[in-house]
Protein backbone atom coordinates (compact mmCIF):
# COMPACT_ATOMS: atom_id res chain seq x y z
CA UNK A 1 0.00 0.00 0.00
CA UNK A 2 1.67 3.26 -1.08
CA UNK A 3 1.84 6.21 1.26
CA UNK A 4 4.02 8.70 3.10
CA UNK A 5 6.50 8.10 5.92
CA UNK A 6 7.11 10.95 8.38
CA UNK A 7 10.56 10.91 10.03
CA UNK A 8 9.84 11.55 13.71
CA UNK A 9 13.09 10.62 15.47
CA UNK A 10 16.64 11.60 14.61
CA UNK A 11 17.70 9.57 11.57
CA UNK A 12 20.97 7.67 11.70
CA UNK A 13 23.21 8.34 8.71
CA UNK A 14 26.42 6.32 8.50
CA UNK A 15 29.69 7.88 7.42
CA UNK A 16 30.43 7.63 3.75
CA UNK A 17 27.07 6.07 2.92
CA UNK A 18 24.35 7.62 0.84
CA UNK A 19 21.39 6.48 2.93
CA UNK A 20 19.96 6.88 6.42
CA UNK A 21 17.83 4.82 8.78
CA UNK A 22 14.84 6.14 10.69
CA UNK A 23 13.85 3.94 13.63
CA UNK A 24 10.92 6.09 14.69
CA UNK A 25 8.32 7.41 12.32
CA UNK A 26 4.74 7.15 11.18
CA UNK A 27 3.17 5.95 7.94
CA UNK A 28 -0.10 7.07 6.36
CA UNK A 29 -1.40 5.38 3.20
CA UNK A 30 -2.38 7.58 0.27
CA UNK A 31 -6.08 6.91 0.82
CA UNK A 32 -5.77 7.42 4.59
CA UNK A 33 -7.09 3.97 5.51
CA UNK A 34 -3.81 2.76 7.05
CA UNK A 35 -2.07 4.73 9.79
CA UNK A 36 0.93 3.14 11.51
CA UNK A 37 3.07 4.74 14.21
CA UNK A 38 6.45 3.75 15.59
CA UNK A 39 7.57 2.12 12.34
CA UNK A 40 11.08 1.71 10.93
CA UNK A 41 12.37 2.72 7.48
CA UNK A 42 15.87 2.17 6.11
CA UNK A 43 17.57 3.32 2.93
CA UNK A 44 16.32 6.92 3.05
CA UNK A 45 18.47 9.01 0.67
CA UNK A 46 20.66 11.67 2.32
CA UNK A 47 20.14 14.39 3.43
CA UNK A 48 17.20 13.66 5.71
CA UNK A 49 16.15 15.26 8.97
CA UNK A 50 13.37 15.05 11.51
CA UNK A 51 10.07 16.17 10.00
CA UNK A 52 10.89 15.11 6.44
CA UNK A 53 8.32 13.11 4.47
CA UNK A 54 9.40 10.19 2.32
CA UNK A 55 7.46 8.07 -0.19
CA UNK A 56 7.08 4.56 1.29
CA UNK A 57 5.14 1.31 0.96
CA UNK A 58 3.44 -0.81 3.61
CA UNK A 59 3.71 -4.50 2.70
CA UNK A 60 2.20 -5.75 5.95
CA UNK A 61 5.42 -6.42 7.86
CA UNK A 62 5.09 -5.66 11.56
CA UNK A 63 6.90 -2.48 12.64
CA UNK A 64 8.40 -1.65 9.26
CA UNK A 65 7.67 0.04 5.94
CA UNK A 66 9.78 0.04 2.77
CA UNK A 67 11.01 2.46 0.10
CA UNK A 68 10.02 0.08 -2.70
CA UNK A 69 6.90 -2.02 -3.03
CA UNK A 70 8.89 -5.11 -4.03
CA UNK A 71 11.36 -4.81 -1.15
CA UNK A 72 11.19 -7.32 1.70
CA UNK A 73 12.76 -7.68 5.10
CA UNK A 74 15.08 -10.49 3.98
CA UNK A 75 17.32 -9.03 1.27
CA UNK A 76 19.84 -11.87 1.57
CA UNK A 77 17.36 -14.74 1.48
CA UNK A 78 17.88 -15.42 -2.24
CA UNK A 79 21.70 -15.61 -2.13
CA UNK A 80 21.61 -17.74 1.02
CA UNK A 81 19.06 -20.15 -0.47
CA UNK A 82 21.02 -20.47 -3.74
CA UNK A 83 24.26 -20.90 -1.78
CA UNK A 84 22.81 -23.77 0.26
CA UNK A 85 21.37 -25.35 -2.88
CA UNK A 86 24.76 -24.99 -4.62
CA UNK A 87 26.55 -26.69 -1.73
CA UNK A 88 24.06 -29.57 -1.81
CA UNK A 89 24.52 -30.04 -5.55
CA UNK A 90 28.30 -29.83 -5.20
CA UNK A 91 28.28 -32.39 -2.36
CA UNK A 92 26.00 -34.79 -4.21
CA UNK A 93 28.02 -34.42 -7.41
CA UNK A 94 31.31 -35.15 -5.68
CA UNK A 95 29.78 -38.16 -3.92
CA UNK A 96 28.52 -39.55 -7.26
CA UNK A 97 31.89 -38.89 -8.89
CA UNK A 98 33.69 -40.80 -6.14
CA UNK A 99 31.28 -43.73 -6.48
CA UNK A 100 31.78 -43.77 -10.23
CA UNK A 101 35.60 -43.51 -9.91
CA UNK A 102 35.78 -46.47 -7.47
CA UNK A 103 33.64 -48.75 -9.65
Is residue 75 one of the residues assigned to a domain? no
Predicted confidence at residue 71, as pLDDT, reads: 55
Mean pLDDT, 10 residues at a time, the chain of 103 residues: 91 81 92 92 87 90 79 59 84 84 79
Predicted confidence at residue 74, as pLDDT, reads: 54
Predicted confidence at residue 44, as pLDDT, reads: 87
Is residue 27 one of the residues assigned to a domain? yes
Is residue 26 one of the residues assigned to a domain? yes
Q: What does the alpha-carbon distance between residue 82 and residue 97 come to, in Å, rounded to a whole number? A: 22
Is residue 7 one of the residues assigned to a domain? yes
Predicted confidence at residue 31, as pLDDT, reads: 94
Predicted confidence at residue 27, as pLDDT, reads: 95
Cβ neighbors of 57 (< 8 A, separation 6 or more) are 1, 2, 3, 65, 66, 67, 68, 69, 71
Q: What does the alpha-carbon distance between residue 99 and residue 66 come to, in Å, rounded to a whole number? A: 50
Is residue 63 one of the residues assigned to a domain? yes
Predicted confidence at residue 10, as pLDDT, reads: 86
Predicted confidence at residue 37, as pLDDT, reads: 93
Structural domain tally of the chain? 1
* 70 backbone dihedrals φ, ψ, rounded to 5°: -85, -5
Amino acid sequence: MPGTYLVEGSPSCGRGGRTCISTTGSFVSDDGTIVRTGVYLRGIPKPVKRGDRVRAFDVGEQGRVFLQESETGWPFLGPIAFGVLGLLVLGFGSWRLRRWWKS
